[in-house]
Amino acid sequence: MRKLNIKTSIVFIAIGMLLFLGCKKTDLLSNTDKDYEYLPQDVEQSCVVTDAEFKTWFKGGTVTENGLVEPANSVTFPHNNNCDFYKWSEQMFLWITSPTSSGSYKSGGTVMESPVFYNVSAADKNGNRVLTPHAPNTIMSAVGNIEQTGPNRLPIVFDKSGKMFEVEPQEKNEAVKDAANKSVVVGKIIANANGLHSFVDTKGKAISGPKAIIAGKVHPENIVQEFKQGNKIILLDSKGNIIDTEQGQAGSSGALVASNNSLVYYITMVNDVYAYFLTGIKDKTLKAKEFPTTAAARDSILAYAKLKGFAPPPDPDALAMELKTSWVEAKDLPNAETYITIKAKIPVYDKTDPKLWKLTDKTTVTTLALVGMHVVGSVAGHPEMIWATFEHLKNAPNTAYSYTDVNGKVKQVKGDTGKGWLFNDNANDTVGGQNIQNMTVVNDTLNTDVIKIVNPALNSSKVRRIMAWGVASDTIPNAEDKTPANSNSEIISINNAVRKMLVGNDIRKNYLLIGATWTSGGVVPNGYSYPYNGTPPTPGNAIGTGRLANTTMETFFQAPSSNAVASSGTNAVTSCLYCHGYSLDPRTKNGISHIFSDIRALPTNMKNLPKLK
């Protein structure tokens, strides 16, 4: 190749600079080399990682392209400020997604594919789940929907103001309380010409002032009772209000389709420390009542693993970790080279009826591309765990947000527009019609999952991230960040720092930390986000980015980016720690982990499991 002379080089550089300065933000999305410019680059450096510290994250102390990152030390986690939590989240994500083919992992893929992690099965008809150990060259299994439940493990719906409710399904001979506070069995529900509903008892007499009888114990004010009248579902709360919801079917889970026509698939995993801890708790050898956070707790798990003949964890200081991951088929995927991929088994649906996809007993092996991940882990001082979430940068457009620049000035970023988003065909439509559930996962009469499609001409690819970096637009996110702009700046600056220090074409540059949440002082989550109170008044203790949602996992459960109705408790039901909380004891069914109580213990005879070197 001929060398360019100096004059020619200067011309090319000048042209390149003009082209760059003329680019719009959405144009940069199509340029992999400049993808980091999608984030504001003049942001206040309120959360950064130094070059020296970043090098220590990598095995061998040198930053290498797609190199192996060590897990964060959760036993010595400092928890001095918000940035400590965000750095822990970033390091854990880089570790989990590190490619590895040697050493203690020997997976031939990423760390999450190695024997360090176990797959968690979907619940069977009895609600039981099992752990499947990862072994080299084995194929993981994914499912076509993710369970969305509230703190009482009940299905979730939102009313038209954005408030979230849990739904208690209708039972035979369902009763309500009348105006005299007596229990009366409902015979039927009648709607008049104005659409108002009347509850009638089994003798045909109208029930005066009917109110739902709620069984759930956690936030019963946010639970509604389901009543079915023909094809219509009526939702009644404990005060006698009929709740008008956005969703066509109460208590349903949504399925999501990407622009390449792939269904979104999900895999839940836990690490070896979590699996051994769970098994020790369930055989009553371990007596702990919260997830491990100390060296002593770690050592008790290691001693238990040795006693039972389990393979010793290569990274015990990572403590207990739970992952929820989301994937799409890599086939026909734009910019496929920017995604972390795995081979996995996915379910096959019979799509003969375009409005009703039926799950078959067949599976097929395909290449899946990672689009989202919840990283959850216990750390020193925080048995409630850190709840962090990551997304591929081309998933969905952001709603408008603010940040603080290097001069302390608050700047506004307009909502993203344009095309090229995986879950939004045309982001220019910024008003209305966003995050509408078009596909519903239900059980048919044979107890088989089916996907009902409202309109076959549409898919679910009109998604928008309502709260760009996990906080509402008009709230005080936490004691350290007095404005949303301050909080957003922390997340943006840590993303910028990490992505700039990853070298070459490291594939992990294409993923963004959306935020992380935890509780102040590591106390039991009470369901409310700082600083607002719920009903009855209870100070919120979920901090960090306490309004967090992942567009691939909480797609249809994103509340408005406003706390204008905080006094009614609406804001309290949009935190990860609204659904995951109320008890630090993992054995509690409605406690921190929604899967812990359902998972069966590992077999004590571990001869058939892979041994780590």
Give residue 305's identity as a one-letter amino acid code.
Answer: A
Give the H/E segment covering residue 27.
Answer: helix 25-28
* pLDDT(235) > 70: yes
Asked which of 134-138, 147-151, 192-196, 249-253 is least confident by mean pLDDT, the reply is 249-253
The per-residue pLDDT for 251 is: 41
Q: What span, in angstroms and rounded, lies between the C-alpha atoms of 548 and 566?
A: 16
The per-residue pLDDT for 276 is: 98
What lies within 8 Å, CB to CB, of 521 at 6+ separation is: 381, 541
The per-residue pLDDT for 10 is: 41
Q: What is the mean pLDDT of residues 303-328?
A: 96
N- to C-terminal Cα distance for the chain? Answer: 48
For the stretch 531-546, pLDDT in tens is 776 555 677 888 999 8
Confidence of residue 432 (pLDDT cuts 50, 70, 90): low
For the stretch 92-124, pLDDT in tens is 999 999 988 655 566 668 999 999 999 999 888
The per-residue pLDDT for 131 is: 95
Q: What is the largest CA-CA distance in the chain?
A: 96
The per-residue pLDDT for 458 is: 64
Burial class (CB in 10 A: 0-12, 13-18, 19+), 181: exposed
- 348 or 432, greater pLDDT: 348
For the stretch 498-529, pLDDT in tens is 999 999 999 999 999 999 999 999 999 888 88
* Contact (Cβ atoms closer than 8 angstroms) between residue 249 and residue 450: no
For the chain, what percent of residues have pLDDT higher than 90?
Answer: 47
| CA-closest candidate to residue 379, choices 527, 528, 587, 519 | 519
Q: What span, in angstroms and rounded, lies between the C-alpha atoms of 556 and 434?
A: 9
Phi/psi of residue 165, nearest 5 degrees = -130, 150
The per-residue pLDDT for 106 is: 61
The per-residue pLDDT for 37 is: 59
* Contact (Cβ atoms closer than 8 angstroms) between residue 178 and residue 209: yes
Q: Following DSSP, what letter does each residue of 28-84 receive, concatenated?
A: HTT-GGGGGGGS-SSB--SS---HHHHHHHBTTS---TTPPBPPP-STT----SHHH
* pLDDT(384) > 90: yes
* pLDDT(30) > 50: no
For the stretch 475-499, pLDDT in tens is 888 889 999 999 999 999 999 999 9
DSSP state of 507: G
Q: Where are the beta strands (DSSP E) in 319-400?
A: 321-329, 341-353, 356-379, 382-392
* pLDDT(189) > 50: yes
| CA-closest candidate to residue 278, choices 88, 129, 384 | 129
Most confident of 27-41, 194-208, 317-331: 317-331
* pLDDT(33) > 50: no
Strands 175-177, 265-271: pairing is unpaired
Tokens of 483: 């404005």
Give residue 69's identity as a one-letter amino acid code.
Answer: V
* pLDDT(5) > 60: no
Q: Is the peptide bond before 314 cis (omega within 30 degrees of 0)?
A: no
Q: What is the mean pLDDT of residues 368-379?
A: 97
- 471 or 4, greater pLDDT: 471
The per-residue pLDDT for 153 is: 73
* pLDDT(13) > 50: no
The per-residue pLDDT for 250 is: 37
Phi/psi of residue 369, nearest 5 degrees = -110, 135
* Contact (Cβ atoms closer than 8 angstroms) between residue 252 and residue 146: no
* pLDDT(11) > 60: no
Tokens of 228: 């079915």
Residue 131 forms beta bridges with which residues? 120
Confidence of residue 591 (pLDDT cuts 50, 70, 90): confident
Phi/psi of residue 343, nearest 5 degrees = -90, 135
Tokens of 317: 């200081």
Q: What is the mean pLDDT of residues 389-400?
A: 94
The per-residue pLDDT for 461 is: 65
Using CA atoms of 195, 200, 202, 203 in order, give the dihedral in degrees to the nearest 10: -120
The per-residue pLDDT for 344 is: 94
The per-residue pLDDT for 544 is: 94
The mean of the pLDDT values for the chain is: 83
What lies within 8 Å, CB to CB, of 477 at 6+ separation is: 471, 484, 486, 487, 530, 543, 544, 545, 546
The per-residue pLDDT for 86 is: 98
The per-residue pLDDT for 502 is: 97
Residue 519 forms beta bridges with which residues? 542
SS3 for 452? strand
How far is CA 157 from each of CA 77, 168, 442, 574, rounded to the nearest angstrom? 37, 11, 14, 12
Q: Is the peptide bond before 536 cis (omega within 30 degrees of 0)?
A: yes
How far is CA 75 from each of CA 72, 299, 542, 585, 591, rounded to the nearest angstrom? 9, 11, 22, 19, 22
Confidence of residue 466 (pLDDT cuts 50, 70, 90): confident
Please count the other Cβ atoms lying within 10 Å of the Cβ belonging to residue 328.
Answer: 27
What is the chain's alpha carbon radius of gyration, rounded to the nearest angstrom? Answer: 25
Tokens of 578: 């609204």
The per-residue pLDDT for 19 is: 37
Distance of CA 485 to the CA centre of its chain: 23
Confidence of residue 389 (pLDDT cuts 50, 70, 90): very high
Q: What is the mean pLDDT of residues 208-214?
A: 91
Give residue 529's identity as a one-letter amino acid code.
Answer: S
Backbone conformation region of residue 375, classed left if phi is above 0, alpha if psi is from -120 to 50, else beta: beta
Confidence of residue 247 (pLDDT cuts 50, 70, 90): very low
- 430 or 447, greater pLDDT: 430
* Contact (Cβ atoms closer than 8 angstroms) between residue 214 and residue 206: no
Confidence of residue 245 (pLDDT cuts 50, 70, 90): low
Q: What is the mean pLDDT of residues 179-192?
A: 88
3-state secondary structure 546-570: CCCCCCCCCCCCCCCCCCCCHHHCH
**pTM of the full structure:** 0.85
